[in-house]
Structure 1
Amino acid sequence: MTVLIAGAGPTGLTLGIELARRGIACRLLDKADGLFQGSRGKGLQPRTLEVFDDLGVLDAIRADGMPFPKFRLYSGTDVVWERALHEMLGLEAPKPSPDIPYPLPWLIPQWRTDEILRDRFEALGGKVEFGAEVTAVEQDDDGVRVTVDGSEVITGDYLVGTDGGRSAVRKLLGVGFEGETYETEQTLVGDVRVEGLQGTACHMMTHAGDVTKRFSVWNLPGSDYYQLVASVPSKEIPTLEDVQELLEERTGRTDIRLHDLRWISVYRINVRMVDRFRVGRVFLAGDAAHVHSSASGQGLNTSVQDAYNLGWKLAGVIQGAPDELLDSYEGERMPVAAQVLGLSSAMHARNFRPTTGPAPAIHQLDITYRGGPLATDDCPDPQQLQAGDRAPDGMLPDGTRLFDLFRGPHFTRLVFAGPIEGYDVEPGTHVLVRPDGYIAVISDNSDTVDRWLDRFGTDPVRTMQPVGRLVPSPG
C-alpha cells in the first residue's frame, strides 16, 4: 500500500519520515523545483524539539540553530530595553527538568529545518519528487488517483495534502476554509545581509521607541543573513532599495545598510481553518488545514504535530487497525487547530505591548487529547496526569530516560510501583504511551490496556515492569 503526500515542507517531510521508518511506501510530491529557501518559520517550540528527538533529527537541529536571542528595542540608535522571550511573555525563566528536557524555544531558519528533515527522509529510503504539481484528485473505495502536471496519473491508497495555505488538494476537494483575512495588514518578510548592527538579538528598530511601528531584523544562526520583518501598506513585492527606504523611514537611521536580498515575500494575515480534516481517503495537514498570524510562533510547530499525529495512524490502518483510528486524526487535531488560532490571534493583537492576565503558553507542551476518541482513563481517583496528555520524560533509577524508551515507532507500556516526577500515579498503575508520545490509557487494570491494544495497536509494544521502583524488566 502507498501513501501519496502533496507538499514537501516541514509537514510533508515529517509525515514521510513517520511512514518511511515504519516501512510504509510513500511518494512525496512538490510542485516547486526544490526546497523552500527562506527563513520564514524559524522558531521551534519545546514540544516540536521532543518530536524531532523521536524522529532522530534533534542533534542536527541543535547543531545548526541557537537559543532564542533576546528582543532589543531601539529608539533611533539608543537601546531602550533588552528582554528574553520569557520576560516578554511575563513568565519565569524556564529550566530543564527530568520531565521537560527542552523547555526553551530554538531558533533555526526554516530552510535548514527542511534540509535536515529531507536528509532524514532520504536516509530512510525516501525521495522528494520535485516539479510535480497536483492538478486533479479522484478517489473511490479502492484508492486515490492523483493527476500530476495535468497528464501523469499516480495511484495510491491514501493522499495527504500538506501543500500550504493555498493548498491545491484542499481546493480540489472543495473543503471549506473558514475565517477572516486582515485586509488592511500586510507583513513583509525576507532574508537579507545587514551592516551596522552589533550583537545577536531580535533587533526591533523604531524612530521613537514605539514598538508598534518597528522594522525588525533577527540574526539567523549558521548564517550571515538576518530575517527582516515589517508591516507594510502595499501588497507589492518591494525591491532592496524599497526595503532600505522603509528601514530609514521607520527608524530615522542611515547607518544601517541592507544588501544581498536572498528571499522576500509580502503576505496578508489569514486566520482560517478547514471544516474537515478528512474526506474519504484524503487528509489535510499543516497550513493546508489551518493558517494564522505568525505571532507566538505556532504555525510550523502545529503543522509538524499534525503530521506526527497522522503518521502512526495511517501506518496502523495499513497494517490492519480499524479505519476509525484515522477518524481520530480530525477528532484530536481540529480542537488543537482552533485553540492555536485563538492564541496566535491574541498574540497578534497584543503586538509586543504589555498586557494583564495569565501569561500565554506557546510551548505546546500542554496540548492534550483528553476526552478524545483514543483517551481511556478509568482510574477511580484521576490525578493531574490524565489519558490524552503528553507523556512526560522522566529518569529511571539506572539513569535511563523515559524518552529513550519512547523513541521509535512503537507503543510503550509502563507499570508503576510508585510515582516519579511527572507521573503522579498510584502503585500498580498501567500507562500506555502512544507512538506519538501521548498517553492512550491510564488504568489500574492491565485488561484495559490489553483491550485498547487489541483494538488499535499494530506497532510493537515495549513493556516496562516495576521492581521496587520503575525499572526495566529483564530482556
Structure 2
Amino acid sequence: MDVLIVGAGPTGLALGIDLARRGVDALVVERGQGLFPGSRGKGIQPRTQEVFEDLGVLDAIRAAGGPYPTRMVWKNGERIGEQPMFEPVAADEGAPYTQPWMVPQWRTQEVLYARLVELGGTVAFGNEVAGLEQDAEGVGVRCADGRTLRARYVVAADGGRSAVRRAVGVGMTGETVDPSPFVVADVRVEGLDREYWHAFPGPGGTGLMLCPLAGTDDFQLAAKLPEGTTPDLTLDGLRTLVAAATHLDGKDVTELRWFSDFRPRAALADRFRAGRVFLAGDAAHVHSPAGGQGLNTSVQDAYNLGWKLDAVLRGGAPRELLDTYEEERRANAAAVLGLTTGVHRGQVRRGTATVQLGLGYPDSSLSEETRAVPSAVRAGDRAPDGTVDGVRLFDAFRGPHWTLLGAAAPGREVTATAPGAGVKALPAAPQSYGPGVFLVRPDGYVGWAGDSADGLGRYLAGVGLR
C-alpha cells in the first residue's frame, strides 16, 4: 500500500478521507476495537469547519452539534452572573464561519468514519503496532498479533503516547502547564437546565463545570482538583465530587458514560518526520485543552500532509516536497502550544486568537510572494472566501486540486476524469484579495502570488504540476 495511518482518531480519519478522495492506496489501523467513546475534543474551530467543508463532512458536523452556550456562574447555590465563552468575531464574506461549533469528539469521529467508508476507505480495528523497520523503499510495521504490514509511508496519528513515535526514536519536549489534577467525564445529570454551561468556582482556583453537550442528553463534567488529590473516577466518586462542588445532590448524577484524568501539559515532538514516518496530531504535539486547539490543530496536520503525499506518490512531485510538512506544521504547532498555555493561564482570551483563521505559512519555502507591492492577501496566507463571476471561492476550492485566480490554468486543467491532476482557473480574484495572480494550494493557502503569471511555471514544476 502507499500509506499506513496508525490511529483512528480525528487526525487519522481526516487524513484517510483526504487520501481516499485522491485515490491513494491507504489503510487506517487502530489498536482499539472501535472508535474513541468520549467527548474530549468538543470544539470545532472556524478554520476546521472550512476544512470539513472541503472534505465533505461539514453539513453532518453541523447537524451533529450546536453553538456553545453562555457560561452561568454559580455560588452557594445561586446564579451570580453570565459570562460569554468567547469574544465575538465578526463574520464577513471572507470568513463565513467565525464561532466554534460544539460536537462531542466521539460524534465527530463517527461523522469522519462514515465519510471515509463512503469514499471506499477502511479502518482495521484491533491492530496494535508493536514496532517498525524502514528501508529505502518503505516501512514494515509489526503488529502485536505477529502480522506485518508494509507501506511506502507511515503516519503516526496514535496519540500523545504514540507507539510509532517511540519506535522511531523521536523525543518530545515539554512542560507541565498546571500541576493540579483535572477530571473530565461524560455524565447524565438531573436538576440543571441545558441552556447554560454551568460553572462552580472553588477555592484556590479549583472548580467544576457542567457543560451540556450539543446533540446529546449528556453533560461534560470538567473539574480542577487541589494539588495532591487522587481522583476517584467511579460513579460514586463523581457523585461525591459534584455534591461537594455544587448545589446538586450526588444522586442527581445518574449515569457515568466516559471519564479521564490528566495534568495539563504542553509538549512538542523534536521532529515531525523520521525518514518515511510522519508524526501528526497528539503524536506530534500535546496541548492543554483550554481554548479548544488540540483536535483542530491535529486535523489541520492531516490536511497539510494529505495533498503532499498524493503529489509525491501519484503526481510526480519531488520527494523534497514532503520536507515542507515538518517545516510548516511544527512551527504552527509550536505557536499554538504557546497560545493554549496562555489561554489556560488566563493570559489570552478565547476569540480572535483561537478561531485559527489567522494561521498561515508566510515563512514557508512553499510560499512565494513575487509582487512588487504585496496586497492584503499574501503568499502563505489562508485564502479567504469570496465571489468571482457569481462563483463562491470555497465552492471552487472544494476538491483535491489547486486553484488559480486571475490567469488561465497553464496546461493542467481539472477534468472530471482526473480530479487531482491539475489546476482550476477563475478569471480574477475578489477585490478583497487586492491586485495580482494567486495560486491557491489544495489545503486553502496561497502558495504563489505575482503581478502576472510570469514565473508561475517554475513553482508548478516544484509541486509536480508541470
**AA matched with 2:292:** G
2:123 matches 1:128: yes
Question: Which letter does structure 1 place at the counterpart of 2:396?
Answer: L
Aligned equivalent of 1:375, options 367, 380, 391: 367
Sequence identity percentage = 47
Q: Is the 8 Å Cα contact of residues 177 and 341 (structure 2) preserved in structure 1? A: no
Structure 1 residue 150: Cα displacement? 4.6
Q: Which residue number in structure 2 is paired with residue 471 of structure 1?
A: none
> What do residues 347-371 of structure 1 show as CA deviations (whole Å, max 9, x unaligned)?
1111xxxx69997600001111002
Deviations 1:366-397 (A, max 9, x none): 11100211000010011221101100000234
2:354 maps to a residue whose letter is I
What letter is aligned with 2:48?
A: T
In the TM superposition, what is the alpha-carbon distance from 1:405 to its structure 2 partner?
0.1
Q: Find the counterpart in structure 2 of residue 212 from structure 1.
A: 205
Tell me, in whole angstroms, the C-alpha distance in 1 between the residues paired with 2:79 and 2:246.
12
Matches within 5 A, 1:37-76: 37-76=37-76
RMSD: 2.0
Amino acid in the other structure paired with 1:71: R
Out of 396, 401, 405, the position equivalent to 1:410 is: 401
Shift of 1:256: 7.2
**How far did 1:83 drift?**
2.5
Indicate yes or no: 2:450 matched with 1:455: no
CA drift of 1:234 comes to: 3.5
Determine the structure 2 residue equivalent to 1:344.
340
Question: Who is 2:448 aligned against?
Answer: 441
SS at match of 1:447: coil
| 1:420 paired residue number | 430
Q: What is the rounded CA distance, in whole Å, between the counterparts of 2:4 and 2:324 in structure 1?
A: 20
Q: Offset of 1:458 from its aligned partner? A: 4.2
Relative to structure 1, the CA distance from residue 235 to residue 8 in structure 2 (aligned partners, 3 Å threshold; closer, same or farther) is farther
Aligned 8 A contact 1:76 1:253 in 2: no
Residue 237 of structure 1: CA displacement? 4.7
Q: How does 1:5-24 map to 2 (within 5 A)?
A: 5-24=5-24
How many residue pairs end up in the alignment?
444
SS at match of 1:422: helix
Aligned position for 2:324 = 328
1:102-137 per-residue CA deviation (whole Å, 9 max, x = no partner) reads 111100000000000000000010111000000011
Partner of 1:469: none
Tell me how far apart the structure 1 counterparts of residues 59 and 289 of structure 2 sit (CA, whole Å).
26
Q: Name segments (4+ residues, structure 1) moved above 4 Å.
A: 355-360, 416-419
* 311, 319, 330: which one aligns with 1:316: 311
Residues 1:202 and 2:176 are matched in the alignment:
no
- Please give the alpha-carbon distance, in whole angstroms, between the structure 2 residues aligned to 1:457 and 1:105: 36
Whole-Å separation in 2 of the counterparts to 1:176 and 1:50: 32
Using a 3 Å threshold, how does the CA distance of structure 1 residues 177 and 255 change in structure 2: closer, same or farther?
closer
Query: Which one of 264, 275, 281 corresponds to residue 259 of structure 2?
Result: 264
Instruction: Say whether residues 1:30 and 2:26 are aligned partners.
Output: no
Paired letter, 1:322: P
Please tell me whether the aligned partners of residues 17 and 121 of structure 1 are also in contact (alpha carbons under 8 angstroms).
Answer: yes
Query: 2-side partners of 1:137 and 1:49: how far apart?
Result: 35
Q: Is the 8 A contact 2:156 2:277 kept in 1?
A: yes
Runs of 5+ consecutive residues of structure 1 not aligned to the other structure: 460-475
Distance 1:436 1:295 in 2: 26
1:388-440 CA distance string (max 9 Å, x none): 11000002342x210000000000000078763531x22xx210000000000
| Partner SS state of residue 89, structure 2 | coil
Match of residue 215 from structure 2: 222
